[in-house]
Amino acid sequence: MAKNTKQANVITIDEVEYNIDDMTDGQKALVNHIADLTRKINGTQFQLEQLQVGAQAFTNALKESLDAEGND
């Protein structure tokens, strides 16, 4: 089903809807900056989760290695 393009051009800030098509070029640029920064923040949070899991995996591997060494 096709998206309603009118809805796609509406943003909500503090529970107030704004039509992007009615905004000035400067306001549209700010909307684009916000959208780009939001994508970057989400991507960075995803990468952080991956790094944290990786660091924990290496920590667990080190603990296992040290435990195995102590049992020899």
| Residue 66 falls inside a structural domain | yes
Give the chain's domain count.
Answer: 1
| Residue 48 falls inside a structural domain | yes
Domain range enclosing 66: 24-72
In angstroms, the CA 70 to CA 9 distance is 63
- The model's pTM: 0.72
Q: How confident is the model at residue 7, as a pLDDT?
A: 63
Residues 6+ apart with CB under 8 A from 26: none
Residue 23 gets which letter from DSSP?
S
Q: How confident is the model at residue 69, as a pLDDT?
A: 86
| Residue 17 falls inside a structural domain | no
Per-residue pLDDT of the chain (72 residues; tens, 9 = 90+): 444 555 679 999 999 999 999 999 999 999 999 999 999 999 999 999 999 999 999 999 999 999 998 876
| Residue 72 falls inside a structural domain | yes
